[in-house]
């Protein structure tokens, strides 16, 4: 905790404060959640069918001696779905965090290989919110920030998107006329260049 506070003091410019920090809306995990449940269920059903001789009746060449191998293949298939499909999506969601400060909008991606993206609020020329039908059902959406220098940067599946948009507009409205922020829109920088944990003072930490 002390190390985190020290990093924040070094990274946040004087007068800059964290307004809110959150992760993308968990709807991204819907497919992984379904696969997590269905994979073992289907593997168990297939294993029972094989054990009762279903595979041997369907393909006589697959005699009883193949039963252990076929059951093992079903178990491995379920494990492959978990490890190859469900786990990467969970880690990708877990490693994504959106943070709004009084001067910047920051997105952090990744747990091991981290990539940070930031937009200086002083450079924002237009803010657009796009909500698909599934996103509207869970009150999430994509926020696009247009800057005159770097084009458009989009933050996807932001939860409580209307409230988050208001936070951004309020922060932009409170910027001083002569801000020390440098124009430049979106920039990338290595992991560690932005605070590792920015939950202090956040209103939404999912």
146-171 pLDDT per residue, tens: 987 768 999 999 999 999 999 999 99
pLDDT tens readout for residues 130-140: 999 988 998 99
Entry pTM? 0.70
Q: Please say whether the beta carbons of 153 and 118 come within 8 A.
A: no
Query: Over the chain, what is the mean pLDDT?
Result: 80
pLDDT for res 164:
95
66 band by pLDDT with thresholds 50, 70 and 90: confident
pLDDT bucket at 178, cuts 50 / 70 / 90: low
User: Token pair of 191, please?
Assistant: 């992991």
Which residues does 88 contact at the CB level (< 8 Å), separation at least 6?
none
CA atoms 179, 182, 184, 186: torsion sign: negative
Q: Tell me: the pLDDT tens digits for 38-52? A: 999 999 999 998 888
Return the residue matching tokens 């054990």.
51
pLDDT at 5 over 70: no
Q: How far apart are CA 172 and CA 158, in angstroms?
A: 18
The H-assigned helical ranges of the chain are: 2-11, 30-51, 54-58, 67-81, 87-94, 133-137, 161-173
pLDDT tens track for 84-124: 999 999 999 998 999 999 999 999 898 877 888 889 999 99
Identify which has the larger pLDDT, 63 or 40.
Answer: 40
pLDDT at residue 19 greater than cutoff 80: yes
At residue 54, the pLDDT reads: 78
**CA-CA-CA-CA dihedral for 10, 13, 14, 19, to nearest 10:** -100
- Per the CB < 8 A criterion, the answer to whether 97 and 116 are in contact is no
- pLDDT-derived band of residue 3, with 50, 70 and 90 as boundaries? very low
The per-residue pLDDT for 185 is: 47
Residue 182 has pLDDT above 60, yes or no: no
* β-bridge mates for residue 20, sequence order: 100
Residue 13's pLDDT is: 74
- CA nearest neighbour of 89 among 41, 135, 143, 24: 24
**C-beta neighbour count of 142 within 10 angstroms:** 16
Q: What phi, psi does 98 have (nearest 5°)? A: -105, 130
């Amino acid at each position: 905790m002390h190390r985190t506070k020290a990093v924040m003091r070094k990274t946040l410019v004087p007068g800059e404060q964290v307004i809110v920090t959150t992760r993308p809306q968990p709807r991204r995990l819907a497919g992984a959640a379904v696969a997590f449940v269905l994979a073992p269920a289907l593997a168990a059903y297939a294993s029972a069918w094989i054990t009762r001789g279903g595979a041997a009746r369907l393909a006589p060449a697959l005699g009883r001696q193949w039963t252990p191998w076929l059951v093992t293949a079903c178990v491995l298939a379920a494990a492959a779905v978990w490890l190859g499909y469900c786990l990467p999506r969970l880690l990708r969601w877990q490693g994504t965090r959106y943070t709004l400060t009084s001067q910047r909008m920051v997105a952090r991606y990744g747990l091991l290989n981290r990539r940070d993206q930031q937009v200086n609020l002083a450079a924002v020329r237009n803010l657009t919110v796009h909500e698909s039908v599934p996103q509207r059902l869970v009150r999430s959406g994509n926020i696009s920030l247009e800057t005159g220098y770097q084009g458009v940067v989009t933050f996807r599946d932001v939860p409580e998107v209307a409230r988050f948009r208001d936070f951004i507009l309020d922060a932009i409205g409170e910027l001083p006329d002569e801000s020390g922020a440098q124009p430049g829109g979106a920039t990338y920088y290595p992991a560690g260049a932005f605070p590792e944990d920015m939950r202090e003072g956040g209103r939404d930490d999912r």
